[in-house]
Homo-oligomer: A and B are copies of this chain.
Amino acid sequence: MENNKSTLVVFSGDLDKAIASFIIATGSAAMGNQVTMFFTFWGLNILRKEQYVPLQKSFMDKMFAKMLPRGPEKLGISKMNFGGLGAKMMKYTMKKKNITTLKELIEMAKELDIKMVACTMSMDVLGIKKEELIDGLEYAGVASYLAEANEANINLFI
């Protein structure tokens, strides 16, 4: 087989969709594909550090920062969230059934050399700074994503 590429735009910040993204991405990398994940809009929440990072921000940026969840442990699910209960149920049942957690999937993605890119325009809109995101990311815009997608076999928007 030739050198195959996969790209995923991770737009959603829902726990269930984030898990699906990383399962597809790590699965594809494990098959030998070169994988790029492009995190944009709410998808950036997946990459936020759990701890609060004190920074100078405008009022609006502070508002967004407060309202948006910080990292994998804080994400809700896209259906039946019931104020976080659904997300808890899903995490509880996944743990009990020994299914890899989102945090572990993110670590696995790094180990598999998946390129994780944070969308700089979305960071600007939501007022998110590099200091607030986890280590090991690249930073780029849509042109960089499109250049890769043009050459990839699998392109998904999640």
Binding site for B on A (CB under 8 A): 1, 4, 9, 11, 13, 16-17, 20, 23-24, 27-28, 30-31, 33, 40-42, 60-61, 63-64, 67-68, 78-80, 89-90, 92-94, 96-97, 99, 121, 124-125, 127, 142-143, 145-147, 149-158
Contacts and interface: CB of A to CB of B under 8 A. Distances in A.
Nearest to A158: B157
**SS of A interface (majority):** helix
Given A60-B89, A96-B60, A150-B33, A79 B23 contact: no
This chain: how many copies in the complex?
Answer: 3
21 contacts: A11-B17, A16-B41, A16-B42, A24-B142, A24-B145, A27-B142, A28-B146, A30-B143, A31-B150, A33-B146, A60-B92, A61-B93, A67-B80, A99-B124, A146-B154, A150-B153, A154-B155, A155-B156, A156-B156, A157-B157, A157-B158
Contact of A149 (B67, B79, B150, B153): B153
Nearest to A26: B142
Given A31-B146, A154-B149, A99 B125 contact: yes
